[in-house]
């Protein structure tokens, strides 16, 4: 019906009597990097989790490659999630498995790879994020930045058509942010389709194909970064980013 890779429309969610999301719509084309920006509690994270139904949306429709997702069909939902990678703010590596197994387990148990195939693929993906020599280490033995890179490798191993990134650098110490951002930058340059919530404005300015600004569960502005963040432009996005920058300096 349309050329968009992933498209969501009319997503709404009410939790505990509070309206968290209201009529959110977005679509991504192959190779897009869409960045969600907005204050904490704006609903960025909820929107991302609604897109792969970790939080089932109350209303709205989701299409992947023009096919509408039937959320009530659990097999279809699992297959959909296997095609949509997710990176969490707090990594969520499987605590009982070493890095290599973290990447391999879904290949084996979801995609049906043999142990050897999965292992080989896991090492390839770990090499891609520069951690092939850490495959035998457990999550607790890795730094925050390394953990997030393993999480990215774990998502990549599933050959996702699109990756959702939920503030991937927010839980990291400042000196570790760079190593994760540079991996994401590599992916963007390589043409990976991504939707990312972040507070890294500079990163968004340089790499985003579109910025979506969210507040109170609604996407209130959207546009190319050069348009939204242009000098002298009176946009909510620009105000917010300016305040973020000010805060950084005062820090």
Partner 1 sequence: MPDIAFFTQTLLPALNRGLLVSLSLIIPAGVLGFLGGVALGCLRAFGPPPLQRLGDAYTALLRGVPLVVQLLMIYYALPGLGIYFEPYGAALTGFVLCTAAYQSEYVRGAIQSIRKGQMQAALALGFSKRGAVIWIIVPQAARRALPGCGNEIIYLIKYSSLAYLVTCMELMGEGKVVASDTFRFTEVFLTVGAYYLVMVTLAGWMLRCLERRFYVPGFGAA
Closest residue by Cα to residue 140 from 154, 132, 150? 150
Closer to partner 1 by CB, 140 or 234: give it: 140
**Residue 112 neighbours by CB under 8 Å, 6+ apart:** none
Token pair of 119, please? 């292992």
Q: Which residues contact 69 (CB under 8 A, 6 or more apart)?
A: 53, 61, 62, 63, 76, 77, 80
Distances (CA, A) of 218 to 20, 44, 50, 215: 9, 9, 14, 6
Instruction: Note whether 155 binds partner 1 by CB under 8 A.
Output: yes
Minimum CB separation of residue 108 from partner 1 in Å reads 9
Q: Does 45 bind partner 1 (CB under 8 A)?
A: no
Nearest approach in angstroms of CB 124 to partner 1 is: 17
- Nearest residue (CB) to partner 1, 28 versus 99: 99
Give the closest residue to 95 by CA, choosing from 105, 84, 86.
105
Q: Which of 22, 39, 54, 222 binds partner 1 (CB under 8 A)?
A: 54
* 171 part of the interface to partner 1, by CB under 8 A: no
| CA dist., res. 148 & res. 151, Å (int) | 5
Q: Is 138 in the site for partner 1 (CB under 8 A)?
A: yes
| Binding of partner 1 by 75 (CB under 8 A) | yes
Q: What is the x/- site pattern for partner 1, positions 91-130, by CB under 8 A?
A: xxxxxx--------xx--xx--------------------
| Residues 177, 148 contacting (CB under 8 angstroms) | no
Calpha distance 217→233 (Å, rounded): 24
79 binds partner 1 (CB under 8 A): yes
| CB of 142 vs partner 1, minimal distance in Å | 9
The secondary structure element, H or E, covering residue 163 is: strand 162-166
Quickly count: other Cβ atoms within 10 Å of residue 191's Cβ: 10
Q: Could you tell me which stretch among 22-30, 78-86, 205-213, 241-249 binds partner 1 (CB under 8 A)?
A: 78-86
Tokens 């033995």 correspond to 141
In the complex, minimum distance from the CB of residue 203 to partner 1, in angstroms, rounded to a whole number: 23
Q: Does 224 bind partner 1 (CB under 8 A)?
A: no
Scanning 19-27, 37-45, 154-162, 207-215 for contacts with partner 1 by CB under 8 A, the matching segment is 154-162
- Does position 6 interact with partner 1 (CB under 8 A)? The reply is no
Q: Find the part of the chain contacting partner 1 (CB under 8 A) among 49-57, 171-179, 187-195, 215-223.
A: 49-57
- Which residue, among 177, 201, 93, has the nearest Cα to 141 in the 3D structure? 93
Give Cα 127 to chain centroid, integer Å.
Answer: 21
Q: Nearer to partner 1 by C-beta: 72 or 74? A: 74
Residues that bind partner 1 (CB under 8 A): 49, 52, 54, 74-75, 78-86, 88, 90-96, 105-106, 109-110, 138-141, 151, 154-155, 158
């Amino acid at each position: 019906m349309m050329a968009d890779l992933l498209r969501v429309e009319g997503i709404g969610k009410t939790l505990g009597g509070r309206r968290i999301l209201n009529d959110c719509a977005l679509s991504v084309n192959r190779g897009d990097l869409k960045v969600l920006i907005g204050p904490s509690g704006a609903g960025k994270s909820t929107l991302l989790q609604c897109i792969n139904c970790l939080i089932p949306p109350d209303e709205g429709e989701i299409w992947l490659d023009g096919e509408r997702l039937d959320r009530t069909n659990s097999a279809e939902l699992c297959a959909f999630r296997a095609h949509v990678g997710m990176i969490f703010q707090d990594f969520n590596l499987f605590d009982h498995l070493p890095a290599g197994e973290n990447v391999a387990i879904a290949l084996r148990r979801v995609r049906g790879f043999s142990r050897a195939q999965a292992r080989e693929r896991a090492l390839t993906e770990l090499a891609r994020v520069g951690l092939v020599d850490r495959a035998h280490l457990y999550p607790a033995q890795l730094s925050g930045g390394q953990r997030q890179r393993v999480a990215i490798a774990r998502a990549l191993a599933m050959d996702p058509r699109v990756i959702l990134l939920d503030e991937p650098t927010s839980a990291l110490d400042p000196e570790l942010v760079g190593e994760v951002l540079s991996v994401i930058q590599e992916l963007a340059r390589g043409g990976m389709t991504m939707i990312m919530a972040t507070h890294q404005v500079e990163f968004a300015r340089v790499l985003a194909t579109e910025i979506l600004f969210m507040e109170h569960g609604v996407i209130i502005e959207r546009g190319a970064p050069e348009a939204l963040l242009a000098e002298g432009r009176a946009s909510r996005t620009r105000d917010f980013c300016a305040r973020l920058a000010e805060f950084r300096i005062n820090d």
